[in-house]
A and B are shown apart, each in its own frame.
Chain A
Amino acid sequence: MAAIVEELITIKPKPRDGWDVERIRKDFPVLRQTVNDKPLVYLDNAASSQVPMMVIERGAQYIEQEHSNIHRGVHYLSMKATTAYEGAREKVKRFINAREAKECIFVRGATEGINLVMHGYGRKFIGPGDEIVISAMEHHANIVPWQMLCEEKGAKLRVIPMNDAGELLMDEYDALLNEKTRFVAVAHVSNALGTINPVKEIIERAHKYGVPILIDGAQQAPHGTIDVQDLDCDFYTFSGHKMFAPTGSGVVYGKARLLEQMNPFQGGGDMIKSVTFEKTIYADLPNKFEAGTPAIASQIGLGAAIDYLNIIGREKAAAYEHELLRYATERLSAIEGVRIIGTAREKLSVLSFTIENVHPHDIGTILDQQGIAIRAGHHCAQPVMQRLKIPATARASFAFYNTKAEVDVLADAIEKVIEVFS
């Protein structure tokens, strides 16, 4: 533990003053390239964000100088690696204000986090006739695991509907909750529409029925603050690769009391206290849920990404992104033929749109020719598309290293698309 504190002190972040986007951009090597002879305009941050040098260097440092397995070696390198890995867990704990670091389980992303809760909690505590409530704007990652559970257990999936703007209908949510409800799983922010859901209220109402709730925070973690104690959520999960860390990193938080009651997720090394052929005794938290060797470099990178966010200032970054979204919404709305999909009052960072008579995939290909990376498709949220009666959308999603000039490039390119198809 002393070693972990030391690790935290040595790279104690110093917050920067002001917001200098050009300086921020210099931290991200990937942004320096050209695509199809045009400067890269990266607007697919909701799918995967870019990685700053500080995170790359920390991951590389592990590989160059500390590469070894964690939690078992008595030798120098293993202790260094364990310290860095557990140090990252401490950083996550502070990042989401968990009570204890052991409540923060490392997973390879939000998808694995949700599956862990489905297997560990759902398969143990949910049975025939029970009901699970999700929302109309969930990513497939927060639909399919619960569907699988319902099929296995004979439970029923209920869905909170939304309005045309992409806001959940809270009265309908109230109507869905009843004595058969055993679990609620809802996105903090919609990846397809950008809607920020009133999760605190959603959690409170679930708790009135004594129902535990999981929040899918994959889109919130890169752009806002998270306080799991204030929210009082039972589970919270997010992916590292959407918040400036490498792929393969992520976290699922759970209240210790619940994690202790749950079944393990995967069996194997590192998650046990003792093994005989007759019986295995599982390890304590968090190791109980971390079988096998994890993505050590990636999770250490996630810790460094948290440091980076603290240095640049999470609130300042969020305010800048908010202004960027406002500007982009204004620019794109002004183009004739462009329709913004997702017009909730509370939104962040995601701008989904369609162009009259042009399929989103054609938009995506033409923008790519201009060096602009956006996502085109159903965004792993097919029920959202079905609800809004559209086959797909084009989606620009922003991070704090994007600029208003890039929004202008996007708007000009969209005008070009309309011209080609006119």
Chain B
Amino acid sequence: MSELSELYQQVILDHNKKPRNFHKLENANHSAEGFNPLCGDHLNVYLHVEDDQVKDVSFEGSGCAISKASASMMTQAVKGKTKAEAEKLFNEFHRMATGQLNEETEPNDLGKLTIFAGVRDFPARVKCATLSWHTMHAALNEQQKVSTE
């Protein structure tokens, strides 16, 4: 059960149960829809960007605990960041989840997002963790729809 408890940590279970920023953002000026056709995870990410800064961010949708918790923590992480900072986080998160970045030895700004490092041992679940990040990235770059397949 060691691997299991690594993946389903209390923080993840908590964010799954009580997702933060889980609503539609009325004054959003960027948004995108993310879909994982493999498992049916489906979410919308809304951004309010002003003067190159993410003033507000939210999401809504349905999915597994990993995708929901990841989306919830993504919104907390990018709120207040500049576009460049948010993109840097996206890049680091993606590389960590796919095993291309060792969060313990390489410099990064991931902070508590490193609890998702465990997904790289579950290839079928990597996309669950990265879906909201891909969607946020797409919204920032004015893409409307993103699919992880």
Contacts and interface: CB of A to CB of B under 8 A. Distances in A.
A, B: real partners: yes
B62 interface: yes
Nearest to A378: B40
Contacts of B42: 391
A355 to B, nearest CB: 12
Most chain A beta-carbon contacts within 10 A, residue among B3, B4, B38: B4
A392 B65 contact: no
A361 B8 contact: no
Contacts of B125: 361, 365
A295 B4 CA distance: 40
A421 B62 CA distance: 16
Contact of B13 (A365, A376, A391, A420): A420
Taking each of A357, A365, A377, A385, which has the highest tally of chain B beta carbons within 10 Å of its own beta carbon? A365
A284 interface: no
B146 interface: no
A359 interface: yes
Contacts of B128: 361
Given A376-B39, A377-B39, A421 B65 contact: yes
A358 B42 CA distance: 15
Interface string A375-405: 0111000100100000110000000000000
B80 interface: no
Interface string A35-58: 010000000000000000000000
Contacts of A385: 40
A360 B38 CA distance: 12
Interface string B59-74: 0001111101000000
Contacts of A365: 4, 7, 122, 124-125
B64 A361 contact: yes
Interface in B1-29: 1, 3-4, 7-8, 13, 16-17
A276 B73 CA distance: 67
A362 interface: yes
Interface string A1-45: 000000000000000000000000000000000001000000000
Given A361-B64, A362-B66, A391 B7 contact: no
A369 interface: yes
Interface string B111-137: 000000000001011001000000000
A366 interface: yes
A36 B4 CA distance: 11
Given A377-B40, A391-B40, A392-B39, A358 B3 contact: no
B149 to A, nearest CB: 13
A376 to B, nearest CB: 7
A359 B65 contact: yes
A358 to B, nearest CB: 7
Contact of B8 (A366, A376, A378, A392): A366
A369 B16 CA distance: 20
B39 A420 contact: no
Interface string A47-91: 000000000000000000000000000000000000000000000
Contacts of A382: 40
Nearest to B5: A420
Contacts of A362: 8, 64-66
A377 B41 CA distance: 10
B39 A369 contact: no
Residue from B42, B62, B65, B125 whose CB has the most chain A CB atoms within 10 Å: B65
B3 A359 contact: no
A136 to B, nearest CB: 18
Contacts of B40: 377-378, 382, 385, 391-392
A377 B1 CA distance: 23
Given A362-B64, A369-B3, A378-B40, 18 more contacts: A357-B17, A358-B65, A359-B64, A361-B39, A361-B64, A361-B66, A361-B128, A362-B8, A362-B65, A362-B66, A365-B122, A365-B125, A366-B4, A376-B39, A377-B40, A391-B63, A392-B40, A420-B8
Interface of B: 1, 3-4, 7-8, 13, 16-17, 38-42, 62-66, 68, 122, 124-125, 128
25 contacts: A359-B63, A359-B64, A359-B65, A361-B39, A361-B41, A361-B66, A362-B8, A362-B64, A362-B65, A365-B4, A365-B125, A366-B4, A369-B3, A369-B4, A376-B39, A377-B38, A382-B40, A385-B40, A391-B40, A391-B42, A391-B62, A392-B39, A392-B40, A421-B13, A421-B16
